[in-house]
Structure 1
Amino acid sequence: MAERRARRVMAWLLGLAIVAYLAVCALLYAQQRRLIYFPQFTRVAADQTDIAITRPDAVLRGWVVTPGRRDAVIYFGGNAEAVDASRGAFAEWLPDRTVYLVAHRGYGASDGEPSEAALLADALAVYDDIVHRHPEGDVAVIGRSLGSGVATHVASERPIRHLVLVTPFDSLAAVAQSHYPAFPVGLLLKDRYDSAARLPRHDGRLLVLRAGRDNVVPPPHTDRLLASFKGPAQVVDFPRASHDDLSSDPGYWPALRTFLQRPGD
């Protein structure tokens, strides 16, 4: 009798654990974009920006640094990154290029809600707009963290001569799985940013800046992305830097400038 009761209790506890696990999975699925995107830390008024690119369902806004140059750079920022904070550094270190800091939709003063499909489509529209503004120049693309997935998509769809990826990952799904190993992230995640599948279609030059103490994008994820690339990649390691403070390293901006000043052939 006691043994039968113990079995019923164990079965009840197991069922409760399964229900709780499935409830957490459902919550992760329903709230996933709130766990991925953090635009609330970047919001500014539209009148603080100086460029606007109109999309069918949103207006993307941002900043232009050192206007009037023949060559250009498009910078796709990281999650929770206020891209306007880098205006001074870009002006100092890349004075020969006009730099466009266009916030992702939902970030900065840009309209809309972020999602992978929207951000990737926006990025192509931004690139095409900037190329039209610089018909005789080279338009380089830089992407940091979340923006690396966006930049890689652009480089897979457009002829980019200079691509810079800062703390990049192989795919968001793989990174998320490493942070939540107990849950089937691969089945739950809508926005996957599969850069390892897209990067092989880039046939230009590639610079990867990697942080040695990156706890957000563990180094194996950057390694797997590099392994997917067919051409030679220049990799600059910053062993003492973390995911968030990499751009504060004394070698960060010189690495960008050196790469972008070299001939692209």
Structure 2
Amino acid sequence: MQIIPQALRLMRLWVTAGLAVLFLAGCNDMDAWQRSMLYHPQPARLAGETLTLPVDGATLSISVRSRPGAPALLYFGGNAEDVSGTRPQLARLFPDHALYLMHYRSYGQSTGEPSEAALHADARVLYEHVRRDHAEIKVVGRSLGSGVAARLASEQAVARLALVTPYDSIENVAVDLYPWLPVRWLIRDRFDSAAVAGRISAPTTLIAAEHDTLIRPERTVQLATHFQPGVARSVVVPGAHHNDIGAHPAYERALEEALR
């Protein structure tokens, strides 16, 4: 009479052990591969003017459209974006601006390995370089790059800031995507935009995609609450998803208005 209960207990033990092994394997994979999950380097597919910028431990390639003395626009792209492909759209929308689009480390012709610390440091180097020739600097960050742009705008004087599909933190984005893992214990690159938003004084526009399933709308809503009153406004592009927002006319109108 005791054989069946004992067998059930043994079965539950094996199932629990198996789930524990799978859980630990998932944790190990995330710890080992999280940066390869976060950064997806892309080659530069479009030829054009470039700037080579030496930084600590690497050399950056910057896609450029020169306009000496004009207002400058700094652009920080998404984690799988070739920013050389974004330059034609920005050149069309902002014909009177100089453009500087940063290829992160290991993206395009840039060398080195990307990390949160490296991207923030590289953004500061680019800003200092651009400031020598341009009195007015505006900043755009998309997706991953919204965290780079927000941190830069919290530290340096910028005229305007536009954050496209932004988040309060990459940590919270990862929690949304992997709720079964102890993300907060494991994550290294947090990109905590909410923590720096209160220090941003430049007029800021948050541009979200209505149907974004990668950076969920609540992440943008939460970010907006951390700005000082009157600094940031939010725009939602109807019908847009995370990856196609740039193709929507409403996005272009919002970006032009944000940076005019």
Question: Into which bin does the TM-score normalised by the smaller protein fall?
Answer: over 0.9
Specify the alignment match of 1:33 in structure 2.
Answer: 35
Following the alignment from structure 2 to structure 1, what is the Cα–Cα distance between the partners of residues 85 and 207? 19
Deviation >3 Å, runs of 4+: 44-49
Gaps of 5+ in 1: none
> Given the alignment of the two structures, is residue 223 of structure 1 paired with residue 214 of structure 2, yes or no?
no
How many residue pairs get aligned? The number is 257
Secondary structure of the residue that 1:159 maps to in structure 2?
coil
Pair 1:11 & 2:10 matched? no
Among 146, 150, 156, which residue is 1:152 paired with?
150
Does the aligned pair in 1 maintain the 2:209–2:238 contact within 8 Å?
A: yes
SS of the counterpart of 2:25?
Answer: helix
Contact 2:147-2:167 within 8 A present in 1 as well = yes
Identify the residue that residue 177 of structure 2 maps to in structure 1: 179
Match of 1:195 in 2: 193
- What is the DSSP-based 3-state SS (H/G/I as helix, E as strand, rest coil) of the residue aligned with 2:218? helix
Q: TM-score, normalised by structure 2?
A: 0.94
Decide whether the 8 Å contact of 1:66 with 1:95 is kept in 2: no
SS of alignment partner, residue 237 of structure 1: strand
For 1:167 and 1:43, the matched residues in 2 are separated by 23
Cα separation, 1, equivalents of 2:203 and 2:69:
21
Deviation of the 1:234 alpha carbon: 2.5
Q: What's 2:235 paired with?
A: 236
**Partner Cα separation in structure 2 for residue 91 and residue 166 of structure 1:** 17
In the alignment, structure 1 residue 257 sits paired with structure 2 residue 248 = no
Deviation at 1:152? 0.6
- Tell which deviates more after alignment, 106-115 or 246-255: 246-255
Note the aligned Cα RMSD (angstroms).
1.7
Report the secondary structure of 2:258's partner residue: helix
Q: 1:180 to 1:127 in 2, by over 3 A?
A: same
Match of 2:245 in 1: 246
Q: What amino acid is the match of 1:132?
A: R
Q: Give the distance between the partners of 2:154 and 2:116, measured in 1 at CA.
A: 15
What letter is aligned with 2:109? A
Q: What TM-score, normalized by structure 1, do the two folds share? A: 0.92
1:47–1:88 distance in 2 versus 1, CA, 3 Å: closer
1:198-222, Cα deviation, whole Å (9 max, x unpaired): 1111011101111101111000000
Q: Output the amino acid matched with 2:229.
A: G
